[in-house]
Amino acid sequence: MTQQECRFGLIGFPLGHSASASYFAKKFEREGLKTYSYTLFPLLSADEIIPLIKKTPSLQGFNVTIPYKQSIIAFLNHLDPVAREIGAVNTVKITSSGSEFELRGYNTDAEGFRKSLRSGFHHTHALILGTGGSSKAVAYSLKKMGLDVLLVSRSKTNLPAITYSDINSAILEQYTFIVNCTPAGMFPDINQTPPFPTELLHQHHEVYDLIYNPAETKFLHLAREAGAKTQNGLKMFELQAELAFKIWKG
């Protein structure tokens, strides 16, 4: 019997930074899944999602990245309760019956982030840079862990958030865990940084950047030079990918 082709992929734009295709190619080879494949689908609009699924009948699920983690929700038939509470989706499972299909949305970013934290994590207050889909997942996880969370936005927003110009020594004495959830510094724009006062950081701070390409962003480099502990997003990326695959094949 010929094994059925099983396709998965990543939607977002741009996708030049992503290691998803390489990660899953190695996983499929390692596990002997010869009919499995993973494709990058750079889409210029969320409106392209349904046409893509219709013309890719072997597609069984996909990951979602910037900028569609929130706009994807409008296209889903079902939303996992955790994803609903977060307000963002990074994993979609496709259930097909003939030419008909249903889309179920999940969020594996939150659990991937939580599991990636260092052992001995001790912080009680966190600053989250950015207000997009990734920041929502990180905020959800940290709040579940009992942390006081404060969002930071480039401009005034309807959300309860401060702007970068509001960050001062007093705030940073209390908020010792800082998470960058923005794309600033991501390949290929590796010289960018969030407009964050890294000179105010010291050895009691820990800075986590969700970006993993490059392995050390300019933001992490500056934080490390100031004395802070640093961590990139590679472990989170790998954990959320494995969680996504369990959902697709569960």
Please list the alpha-helical segments (H only) found in the chain. 20-30, 49-54, 81-86, 109-116, 133-144, 169-174, 218-225, 234-249
Annotation: CATH topology of 6-107:
Rossmann fold (3.40.50)
Annotation: CATH topology of 110-233:
Rossmann fold (3.40.50)
- Ranking 7-11, 56-60, 210-214, 228-232 by mean pLDDT, the lowest is 56-60
Predicted pLDDT at 118: 94
Domain chopping of the chain, boundaries? 6-107, 110-233
Quick check: do 6-107 and 110-233 share a fold?
yes
Q: State the Cα–Cα distance between residues 152 and 162, nearest whole angstrom.
A: 5
Predicted pLDDT at 157: 74
Predicted pLDDT at 3: 66
127-158 tens-digit pLDDT:
999 999 999 999 999 999 999 999 999 887 77
Please tell me which residue, 160 or 158, carries the higher pLDDT value.
160
Q: Which residues are catalytic?
A: 69
Rounded to the nearest integer, the mean pLDDT of the chain is: 95
